[in-house]
Structure 1
Amino acid sequence: MTDQEPTYKDAEERNYELENRIRNLVWTVSGDYTLDIRPDTALFRKSAHIAVYDGVKQGGLAKYFDQDAVSMYLLKKVYCHADQAELLNTAQICTEEAVGWRLDAEREGIRRLREMAYNDVLDQDFKKLSGYPLGRLRLALLREKLDGSWKGTREIQEQLESVHALRKVQTTEELIRGIDDLYNRMVDPHFSKSLDDVLAVTAEELTEFSWKDLLNEDAENASVETVLQKLTDSMTSLEAEEEQDLQEKESGREERAEKKKIIVAGPEEMSRMYSFVERNFGRSYLAPAEQNRRNYQMCRGIHAGCRLYYTDGILDSPVIKNNQYVLAEKICRDNRKKYKEQYTLVNRNIRVLADMLRKALVLRDEDQFVRADHGKIVPSQLWKPGRSEDSRLFIRKMKSDSCDFAVDLLLDASGSQRKRQSDVALQAFMISEALSELDIPVRVMSFCTFWNYTVLRRFREYDEDRAANQNIFSFTTSSGNRDGLAVRAIGNDLLQREEKNKILIVLSDGKPNDTLLNRPGAENPEPYRGRRAILDTGTEIRSLRRNHVAVLGVFVGDETELQAEKKIFGKDFAYIRSIRGFSNTVGRYLLRQIEDE
Structure 2
Amino acid sequence: MMEINEDVFDEKRLEIENRIKNLVWTVSKDYCLEAKPDADAFMRSKDAAFYDAIKQGAFAYYYDKEEFSMYIVKKIYCEADEQALMNLAQMAIDMAVHLKITEERPGVEQIRRRAFEDVLDQDFHKLVSSLPGKVKAALMRGSLTGDWSSERRISWAVDKIRSLENAGDTMQIIETVDELYNSLIDREFEKKHGTLEHVLAVTMEELAGYDWNDFMEEEAAEDFLEQYLEQISNRMTATGEEDPEEQQKRKRRASTVILNKEDIDKMYSYMELNFGKSYLSEADQKKADRKLCRGAHADCSLYYTEGILKNPVKVNAQYVNAKKQADRNRLLYHNSRQVTKRNIEIMTNELRHSLIQRSEIETISSDYGQLVPSRLWKAGRCEPRKLFEKLNKKDNSDFVVEILMDASGSQRGRQSQVALQGYIISAALCNVQIPHRVMGFCTFWDYTVMQLFRDYDDPREASGRIFEYNTTANNRDGLAIRASGDSLLERPEENKILIVLSDGRPNDVIVNRPGSRNPRTYSGEYAVSDTAFEVRRLRKEGIFVLGVFAGREKDLAAEKRIFGRDFAYIRQIGNFSNVVGLYLKKLLEWE
Q: TM-score, normalised by structure 1?
A: 0.68
Cα gap change, 1:449/1:275 in structure 2, threshold over 3 Å: closer, same or farther? same
CA separation in 1, counterparts of 2:90 and 2:557? 41
Q: CA deviation at 1:541?
A: 1.7
Amino acid in structure 1 at the alignment position of 2:538: L
* TM alignment of 1:222-261, pairs within 5 A: 234=234, 248-249=245-246, 259=252, 261=254
Q: CA deviation at 1:406?
A: 1.3
CA separation in 2, counterparts of 1:20 and 1:572? 60
Cα gap change, 1:464/1:171 in structure 2, threshold over 3 Å: closer, same or farther? farther
* TM alignment of 1:18-167, pairs within 5 A: 25-27=27-29, 36-37=32-33, 54=53, 57-67=56-66, 70=69, 97-106=91-100, 108-110=102-104, 112-118=106-112, 144=141, 147-148=144-145, 167=164
* TM alignment of 1:468-483, pairs within 5 A: 468-483=462-477
Q: CA deviation at 1:286?
A: 1.3
Q: CA deviation at 1:412?
A: 1.8
Q: CA deviation at 1:19?
A: 9.7
SS of the residue aligned with 1:170?
helix
> Which of 341, 355, 369 is equivalent to 1:361?
355
1:553 and 2:547 aligned: yes
Q: Is the 8 A contact 2:119 2:241 kept in 1?
A: no
Cα gap change, 1:590/1:292 in structure 2, threshold over 3 Å: closer, same or farther? same
Amino acid in structure 2 at the alignment position of 1:448: C
Cα gap change, 1:259/1:205 in structure 2, threshold over 3 Å: closer, same or farther? closer
Partner of 1:443: 437
CA separation in 2, counterparts of 1:20 and 1:553? 55
1:340 and 2:367 aligned: no
CA separation in 2, counterparts of 1:204 and 1:583? 29
SS of the residue aligned with 2:438?
strand
Cα gap change, 1:22/1:326 in structure 2, threshold over 3 Å: closer, same or farther? closer
CA separation in 2, counterparts of 1:41 and 1:376? 92
Q: Is the 8 A contact 1:459 1:469 kept in 2?
A: yes
1:314 and 2:308 aligned: yes
Q: CA deviation at 1:461?
A: 0.6
Aligned residue pair count: 527
Q: CA deviation at 1:486?
A: 1.1
Cα gap change, 1:174/1:295 in structure 2, threshold over 3 Å: closer, same or farther? farther
CA separation in 1, counterparts of 2:482 and 2:420? 25
1:417 and 2:418 aligned: no
Q: Is the 8 A contact 2:505 2:558 kept in 1?
A: no
Cα gap change, 1:584/1:126 in structure 2, threshold over 3 Å: closer, same or farther? closer
SS of the residue aligned with 1:476?
coil
CA separation in 1, counterparts of 2:581 and 2:229? 57
Cα gap change, 1:141/1:569 in structure 2, threshold over 3 Å: closer, same or farther? same
Partner of 1:272: 266
CA separation in 2, counterparts of 1:308 and 1:512? 20
> Which of 201, 208, 220 is equivalent to 1:202?
208
Q: Is the 8 A contact 1:442 1:461 kept in 2?
A: yes
Partner of 1:511: 504
CA separation in 2, counterparts of 1:61 and 1:532? 45
CA separation in 2, counterparts of 1:141 and 1:594? 58
CA separation in 2, counterparts of 1:213 and 1:121? 30
> Which of 274, 291, 296 is equivalent to 1:297?
291
Q: Is the 8 A contact 1:574 1:585 kept in 2?
A: yes
Answer with 326-335 or 541-550: which moved more: 326-335
Cα gap change, 1:561/1:247 in structure 2, threshold over 3 Å: closer, same or farther? closer
CA separation in 1, counterparts of 2:571 and 2:137? 40
Q: CA deviation at 1:544?
A: 1.4
CA separation in 1, counterparts of 2:223 and 2:326? 35
CA separation in 1, counterparts of 2:326 and 2:554? 29
Cα gap change, 1:307/1:127 in structure 2, threshold over 3 Å: closer, same or farther? farther
CA separation in 2, counterparts of 1:225 and 1:427? 31
Q: Is the 8 A contact 1:482 1:512 kept in 2?
A: no
SS of the residue aligned with 2:562?
helix
Cα gap change, 1:563/1:149 in structure 2, threshold over 3 Å: closer, same or farther? farther
Cα gap change, 1:172/1:142 in structure 2, threshold over 3 Å: closer, same or farther? closer
RMSD: 5.7
Cα gap change, 1:596/1:259 in structure 2, threshold over 3 Å: closer, same or farther? same
SS of the residue aligned with 1:409?
strand
Unaligned runs of 5+ in 2: 1-17, 187-198, 376-387
1:589 and 2:589 aligned: no
Identity level (%)? 34
Cα gap change, 1:97/1:468 in structure 2, threshold over 3 Å: closer, same or farther? same
Answer with 467-476 or 160-169: which moved more: 160-169
CA separation in 1, counterparts of 2:141 and 2:270? 47
Q: Is the 8 A contact 1:303 1:526 kept in 2?
A: no
Amino acid in structure 1 at the alignment position of 2:324: K
SS of the residue aligned with 1:112?
coil
Q: CA deviation at 1:233?
A: 8.8
Amino acid in structure 1 at the alignment position of 2:62: K
Amino acid in structure 2 at the alignment position of 1:568: I
